[in-house]
């Protein structure tokens, strides 16, 4: 059991001193627990946990920690690491991953798995009224891989992070009035079932840690095993159907350079590029992105031209989904069922983790964002689109560093059915953001009878312009 950490610790590792009283005297043993945080490369002051158990240190994870062991809790931070080989189950009911205070007063902090669909249910409840309440898709949890979750709570402040990414905040909550019980770890509570996964670490801090520290404690970047190659550039393509590509494969060009593909099944690593580029039989993040596509995109043209200009191996990375709006909570936007609560959409989370994982393979050369058709069809205002796009780009920079971003503005407006096409297109064409360029798709050839989508010729022409924006 973890008892006393050093005060100032680098992200790369936490070191712990542990006092043990033996018959012949006292000795101090040094234990270390790796927490690689990749590109962050910063340091973090972590408050002393009240208790911490980790199987990597030889501890047995207890099923319960009584309230008497922690005293009166008015705020705190819970960090848990676990493996779930079967996030989804055909059974009904719930499995309790952890809970604090699940007694009859219904004042609790809990993380529960819904067995029928594998969703994670995050709850902070006061007198049976949810102060924090949101569900997160099972696709965010990688089967058989270690996942880390940290939940910080206090009056007027809840933060939840999954694998190093803040996925929810709540800024106007009332804390549980009191806790009737202590901690249950993977145990029965209020009709739930025992957790079928394996908890490998559980820690409790008696302080509500801030966002940076919460992210640091939850960080898990080694989603797949890989080797970093410095002479490798990766171009990520995000957005909806025109980003995926809707051109005729029969019109696919030949490529002069040996361009590569980082498949959505990230565990497959770097492969030779082939159209259609968006295909992945077993995408790492489940159904959050298209698992297959049978049409031509501009990704090959972009990567071929970038590699010709730089002489560096260039890899395409698809991270897109057809028909998705930016502003809609069910697509890329922020969703909340509780006032003052902000929850990152699973798709945005998956995109960030996909791109973070890509940075383990090589340098993220650029992000290409091509989207807006769905928002235009639903009548999203120009101001709303601009604000949401700015927030999305801010999120990319927060987690991915100062990666260049290319925005592809919408092409010529289709004949009918789009309420704010021109308004969103105008916002995109003049959009300003640091280390960012805009490529205008106006004038590119569209498909006959389907003016929403660019033709193969239009995609190929546009790809050349995107490559120029990346290398120019």
Q: How many CB atoms lie within 10 A of CB 235?
A: 26
197/247 same-domain check: no
Domain's final residue, options 164, 192, 218 = 218
Among residues 161, 195, 218, which one ends one of the domains? Answer: 218
Task: Looking at the structure, tell me whether residues 319 and 239 fall in a common domain.
Answer: yes
Kindly state whether residue 9 falls inside one of the protein's structural domains: no
**22 in a structural domain:** no
**CA of 85: how far to CAs of 66, 138, 187, 199, in Å?**
29, 12, 18, 12
The number of distinct structural domains making up the chain is 2
Residue ranges of E strands in 101-145: 108-114, 120-126, 129-136
User: What is the end-to-end Cα distance of the chain in Å, rounded?
Assistant: 55
Within a domain: 110? yes
Measure the CA–CA gap between 143 and 146, rounded to whole angstroms.
Answer: 8
pLDDT of residue 383: 96
114 part of a folded domain: yes
Question: Would you say residue 43 lies in a domain?
Answer: no
CATH number at residue 86: 2.60.120.200
Same domain, 259 and 377: yes
pLDDT of residue 32: 31
Distance (Å, rounded) from C-alpha 40 to C-alpha 405? 19
Q: What is the pLDDT of residue 337?
A: 60
d(CA 316, CA 302): 9
Residue 12's pLDDT is what? 31
Tokens of 453: 């989508």
Q: Which domain holds residue 158?
A: 48-218
DSSP assignment string, 200-222? EEEEEESS---HHHHHHHH----
How far is 34 from 50, CA to CA, in rounded Å? 20
**Up-side HSE of residue 433: CA atoms within 13 Å toward CB?**
25
* Rounded Cα distance, 468 and 366, in Å: 12
Q: Is 426 part of any domain? A: yes
The DSSP secondary-structure symbol of 335 reads B
C-alpha to C-alpha distance for 397 and 40, rounded to whole angstroms: 12
Residue 39 lies in a domain: no
Please report the pLDDT score of residue 45 as a whole number: 54
**Domain boundary at 185, 218, 251, which?**
218
CATH number of 340's domain: 3.40.50.1110
Mean pLDDT per block of 10 residues along the chain (472 residues) reads 39 32 32 32 62 96 92 92 81 86 79 85 84 80 81 92 92 80 82 85 95 93 84 95 91 96 87 87 64 81 98 94 80 68 85 91 98 94 94 93 98 90 97 98 94 95 98 94
């Amino acid at each position: 059991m973890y008892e006393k950490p050093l005060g100032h610790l680098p992200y790369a590792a936490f070191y712990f001193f542990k006092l043990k009283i033996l018959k012949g005297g006292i000795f101090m043993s040094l234990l270390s627990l790796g927490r690689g945080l990749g590109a962050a490369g910063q340091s973090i002051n972590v408050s002393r946990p009240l208790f911490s158990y980790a199987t990597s240190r030889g501890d047995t994870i207890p099923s319960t920690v009584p309230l008497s062991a922690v005293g009166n809790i008015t705020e705190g931070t819970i960090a848990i690491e676990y493996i779930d080989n079967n996030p989804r189950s055909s059974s009904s009911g719930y499995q309790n991953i952890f809970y604090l205070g699940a007694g009859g007063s219904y004042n609790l902090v809990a993380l529960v798995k819904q067995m029928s669909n594998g969703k994670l249910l995050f709850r902070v409840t006061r007198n049976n009224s949810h102060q924090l309440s949101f569900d997160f898709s099972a696709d965010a949890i990688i089967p058989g891989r270690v996942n880390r979750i940290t939940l910080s709570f206090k009056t007027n402040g809840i933060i939840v992070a999954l694998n190093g990414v803040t996925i929810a905040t709540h800024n106007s909550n009332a804390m549980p009035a009191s806790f009737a019980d202590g901690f249950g770890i993977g145990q029965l509570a209020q009709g739930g079932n025992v957790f079928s996964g394996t908890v490998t670490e559980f820690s409790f801090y008696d302080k509500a840690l801030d966002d940076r520290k919460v992210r640091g404690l939850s960080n898990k970047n080694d989603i797949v095993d890989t080797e970093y190659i410095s002479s490798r550039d990766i171009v990520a393509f995000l957005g909806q159907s025109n980003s995926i590509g809707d051109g005729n494969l029969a019109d696919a060009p030949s490529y002069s350079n040996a361009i590569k593909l980082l498949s959505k099944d990230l565990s497959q690593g770097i492969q030779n590029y082939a159209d259609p580029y968006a295909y992945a039989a077993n995408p790492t993040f489940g159904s959050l992105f298209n698992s297959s596509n049978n049409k031509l995109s501009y990704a090959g043209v972009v990567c071929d031209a970038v590699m010709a200009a730089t002489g560096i191996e260039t890899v395409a990375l698809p991270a897109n989904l057809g028909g998705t709006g930016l502003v809609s909570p069910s697509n890329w936007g922020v969703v909340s069922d509780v006032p003052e609560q902000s929850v990152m959409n699973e798709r945005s989370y998956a995109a960030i983790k996909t791109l973070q994982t890509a940075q383990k393979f090589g340098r993220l050369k650029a992000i290409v964002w091509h989207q807006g058709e769905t928002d235009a069809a639903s009548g999203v205002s120009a101001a709303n689109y601009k604000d949401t796009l700015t927030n999305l780009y801010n999120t990319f920079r927060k987690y991915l560093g100062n990666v260049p971003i290319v925005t592809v503005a919408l092409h010529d407006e289709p004949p009918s059915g789009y309420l704010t096409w021109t308004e969103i297109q105008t916002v995109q064409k003049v959009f300003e953001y640091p280390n960012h360029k805009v490529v205008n798709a106006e004038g590119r050839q569209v498909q006959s009878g389907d003016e929403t989508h660019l033709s193969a010729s239009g995609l190929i022409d546009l790809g050349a312009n995107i490559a120029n924006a990346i290398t120019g």
